[in-house]
Structure 1
Amino acid sequence: MSRIRMFVALALIYMVFAVLLNSVGVVILQSISSFGVDKPAASLLELFKDLPIAVTSFLVASMLPVLGYRRAMMLSLALVAGGCVLMPLFPGFHTTELMFCCVGVSFALAKVAVYSSIGLLTKDRAEHTRLTNTIEGLFMAGVLLGGWLFSGFIDDASPANPVWLNVYWVLAAICLLVVALLATSHLDESAAHADPSKVVRGTPMEMFRLAGKPLVYVFLISAFFYVLIEQSFSTWLPTFNNEVLKLPHAMSIQMASILAGATAVGRLVAGQVLRRVHWHLLLNLSVVGMGLLVLLVMPLARGVVIDSHVGWLSAPIAAYLIPLIGVLMAPIYPVINSVALSSLPKHAHASMTGLIIIFSALGGTLGSRVTALVFAHFNGITAFYFSLVPMSLVLVALHFFKRETERVGSTGPVAVGLGAK
């Protein structure tokens, strides 16, 4: 029963952070109306979220086995709950900055702890992959839920009305409920503790040592290029819908939300497909399918002409087809994460997850920036065609990643620590 409670807790943690991390766009919009800040100032909320994620991951990832994964998750949720409570009590833009800083720090702690706990709760690589896919799928479900949750507290008649801040009471309550769930659960973390003579704990040193292993740096390259692709589509699809497909602003955002739903479905389905299909074959088919979809849909997006009363039934077919790339993207990230983690000793999972978070942040930032530059200097169709380049690089990286996992599989988990070579 305690094991089931831990599974539920991990899922709820990821869904809570999905809502908060992906609420930046909504909060920017509402901050402009409620707090009177301008767009450049409001855009800094992204920095207050992302910078703490990267810094915290780098500084404390290797310390979490000492603190304990379950305690780290409880600490992260308590910190987020505190940040949420401050929002309605002390409404203001600086409070919003502080809240997102809390979210960034907490998410770094929570993701390291959640990913590391998956290795402790599963028995083999196949089970590890299925659970990772399920939790990542629920993250995307949380993204969808968050939009509807926030919209339910916004006063359309008076957008500046700070009544929308009451959503944070709900989020704080959910955080505290999950803390209670974790407090009554048990997680055997003995396997996460390495031989003290071989690992420098409490420093980033293990992360540096880990990054030098062939399996790890090939994985990080794969993850970097995948996130570059994902961020390109998720960030710029609303703009593509508006400027290329000529959809109204609101409808462009709603259509783009199909991408999150498609990704959630894809990750949940992939967890079952992986029972019968080898992960490398599935990922290769997924990447090739993504490329074919881009080649199929982009010509359909050229020269779109719509009337002023366009609706869901009269929207261009391309608006429905492009988000389906989420189904194909879905299994790649959680599967390569799972394969990499399950190839390492469990005491190295915290440091490895820290590396995953850092390289994912770098890939996401670069992907959004590159797409923005191509979009601005050429057009949206060219920008999405450009995604074929990192897709090709992902295929190459997956080939070497599979080779390294097979090599490691024949010799046992990668040795990690100052005494390892």
Structure 2
Amino acid sequence: MNNQRILFSLFAIYLVFAILLNSVGTVILQVINTYQVSKSAASVLEGFKDIPIGLVSFLVASQLPRYGFRNAMLTGLGIVTAACLCMPLLPGFWTTKLLFLAVGISFALVKVSVYSSIGLLARDGKEHAGMVNTLEGVFMVGVLGGYWLFGAFIDSSDPASTGWLKVYWALAGICALAFLLLWTTRMDESGTRVEGESPAREFFDMLRLVARPLVCIYIVSAFLYVLVEQGIGTWLPTFNNEILKLPAAMSVQATSIFAAGLAAGRLGAGAVMRRWHWYPVLNGCLLAMAALVLVALPLAEGVRANPDINWFNAPAAAFILPLIGLFMAPIYPAINSVMLSSLPRHQHSAMTGLLVIFSALGGTTGSLITGSVFEAFDGRFAFYLSLVPIGVILCTLFFFRRAVERDGRTDFAGAAASPGH
């Protein structure tokens, strides 16, 4: 099989879902203005996206090798293409809920399949880590592009306008192109499952992974990381609009700094980790994240609306706070690569399923907590709370490293976080 073509196809699929998944913050801002719903009501969109991701992953992850990773990805792309077409044709808050429900179901199929497909292509731990870092970097490039794509369709002079829904015509076209690319790509999926095992046995094998201490610590780390990332990423457009007094379109575009930091951090993380062990690098990243929160949020106090606001006179917090993405970026791919590279190929689908489940739960929890605190208090206090999970992740990474070393993977884990070329 043509590995380069398969990788390109996987990257294209991840790019599509990056735009759709991370549009939830932008869409929350727009449905509040367009459909006149409350912040707490709008925050359920994160649940419509994340709960299906977790539920579907739990039910089908162990069975996807039987169904076929390529077939699963094609199914997911077909579902989201249809959902995107419904948004401008049947405008309404309920349609928006159905869109994110479709995105959640589809991403559960896609993420497990994409991560498992990387296991088919990578020859060793270094190459696996390189592909994961690049994949997650491409994902963040998609997130970055998505903010500007949505921003181009938002009319700041008329917040209640439904013109922003036209973006879904473009998104449906992108989804269809990714579908056609994968449709014309062939994959060899041999070796992805143990022959002769029943579906029930495969499902319980997935559950038994949770009994391993290393896996438990890894799951907690991933859960808390996504809680922080989604809590900030989802509510940053609203923070920019209500706390920093930026226009709606500019609020969304300013959030692209956060996505750009994540993209640059993930694409560049391999070069850093090639020289240093993953553990001190990630600790440094977490401390830098906390420092940025403590520096940026005091600068967001007492901001007044400016009718002549532009990129040159915007509050400093609009540029400083999103830089947290740069230091947040290496954490997720590093711990994922260390974990997956320590398992045999036939367990990658099940392990990725567990990752997707707890990442989805973390995303929903982060968004709901941040949204509720945002509404009850204000955006500054809501973002100050991110310091709590950041501190807990520092602790879990300590135990994660000890568990890796206890399993005799010390040298391999350091290499696994470095990309191969």
> Where does 1:144-159 land on structure 2 (aligned, <5 Å)?
144-153=144-153
Deviation at 1:245, TM superposition (A): 3.9
Alignment-derived partner of residue 48 in structure 2: 48
Alignment-derived partner of residue 58 in structure 2: 58
**Could you state the TM-score of these two structures normalised by the residue count of structure 2?**
0.85
**Could you state the TM-score of these two structures normalised by the residue count of structure 1?**
0.85
Inter-partner Cα distance in structure 2 for 1:378 and 1:96: 27
Alignment-derived partner of residue 68 in structure 1: 68
Mapped contact 1:63–1:201 kept (Cα < 8 A): no
> Where does 1:196-235 land on structure 2 (aligned, <5 Å)?
196-197=196-197, 200-201=199-200, 204-235=203-234
Mapped contact 1:53–1:107 kept (Cα < 8 A): yes
Inter-partner Cα distance in structure 1 for 2:90 and 2:299: 49
Are residues 1:129 and 2:132 paired?
no
Structure 1's 193 and 89: CA in aligned 2 closer, same or farther, altered over 3 A?
same
Deviation at 1:8, TM superposition (A): 0.8
Alignment-derived partner of residue 7 in structure 1: 7
Deviation at 1:347, TM superposition (A): 1.2
Alignment-derived partner of residue 186 in structure 2: 186
Q: Alignment length, in residue pairs?
A: 411
Inter-partner Cα distance in structure 2 for 1:78 and 1:328: 35
Q: Helix, strand or coil: the match of 2:255?
A: helix
Inter-partner Cα distance in structure 2 for 1:111 and 1:216: 18
- Deviations along 1:262-321, one digit per CA (max 9) or x if unpaired, are 111111111332332222222112112212222333444445567553332222323211
Mapped contact 2:25–2:237 kept (Cα < 8 A): no
Structure 1's 186 and 95: CA in aligned 2 closer, same or farther, altered over 3 A?
same
| Cα RMSD, aligned residues only | 3.2
Q: Helix, strand or coil: the match of 2:185?
A: coil
Inter-partner Cα distance in structure 1 for 2:282 and 2:236: 23
Mapped contact 1:68–1:189 kept (Cα < 8 A): yes
Inter-partner Cα distance in structure 1 for 2:37 and 2:76: 31
Structure 1's 249 and 296: CA in aligned 2 closer, same or farther, altered over 3 A?
same
Mapped contact 1:21–1:103 kept (Cα < 8 A): yes
Inter-partner Cα distance in structure 2 for 1:225 and 1:333: 10
Higher mean displacement: 74-83 or 92-101: 92-101
Structure 1's 293 and 98: CA in aligned 2 closer, same or farther, altered over 3 A?
closer
Question: What is the identity, as a one-letter code, of the residue corresponding to 1:234?
Answer: G
> Which structure 2 segments of 5+ residues have no match?
413-421
Mapped contact 1:240–1:380 kept (Cα < 8 A): yes
Mapped contact 1:153–1:164 kept (Cα < 8 A): yes
Structure 1's 243 and 152: CA in aligned 2 closer, same or farther, altered over 3 A?
closer
> Where does 1:301-320 land on structure 2 (aligned, <5 Å)?
301-304=300-303, 308-320=307-319
Q: Helix, strand or coil: the match of 1:192?
A: coil
Higher mean displacement: 236-245 or 204-213: 236-245
Mapped contact 1:62–1:202 kept (Cα < 8 A): no
Q: Helix, strand or coil: the match of 1:191?
A: coil
Deviation at 1:129, TM superposition (A): 1.7
Mapped contact 1:343–1:405 kept (Cα < 8 A): no
Question: What is the identity, as a one-letter code, of the residue corresponding to 2:273?
Answer: L
Deviation at 1:159, TM superposition (A): 7.5
Question: What is the identity, as a one-letter code, of the residue corresponding to 2:119?
Answer: G
Alignment-derived partner of residue 100 in structure 1: 100
Deviation at 1:242, TM superposition (A): 4.4
Alignment-derived partner of residue 417 in structure 2: none
Structure 1's 213 and 3: CA in aligned 2 closer, same or farther, altered over 3 A?
same
Structure 1's 402 and 79: CA in aligned 2 closer, same or farther, altered over 3 A?
same
Deviation at 1:180, TM superposition (A): 2.9
Alignment-derived partner of residue 329 in structure 1: 328
Deviation at 1:124, TM superposition (A): 1.9
Alignment-derived partner of residue 140 in structure 1: 140
Mapped contact 1:211–1:217 kept (Cα < 8 A): yes
Inter-partner Cα distance in structure 1 for 2:227 and 2:391: 12
Inter-partner Cα distance in structure 2 for 1:176 and 1:84: 11
> Where does 1:20-419 land on structure 2 (aligned, <5 Å)?
20-27=20-27, 38=37, 45-88=45-88, 94-153=94-153, 165-194=165-194, 196-197=196-197, 200-201=199-200, 204-304=203-303, 308-375=307-374, 379-410=378-409
Inter-partner Cα distance in structure 2 for 1:226 and 1:247: 28
- Deviations along 1:56-114, one digit per CA (max 9) or x if unpaired, are 11111111011111221122112222333444555565554444332221111001101
Question: What is the identity, as a one-letter code, of the residue corresponding to 2:128?
Answer: H
Structure 1's 192 and 87: CA in aligned 2 closer, same or farther, altered over 3 A?
same
Higher mean displacement: 322-331 or 170-179: 170-179
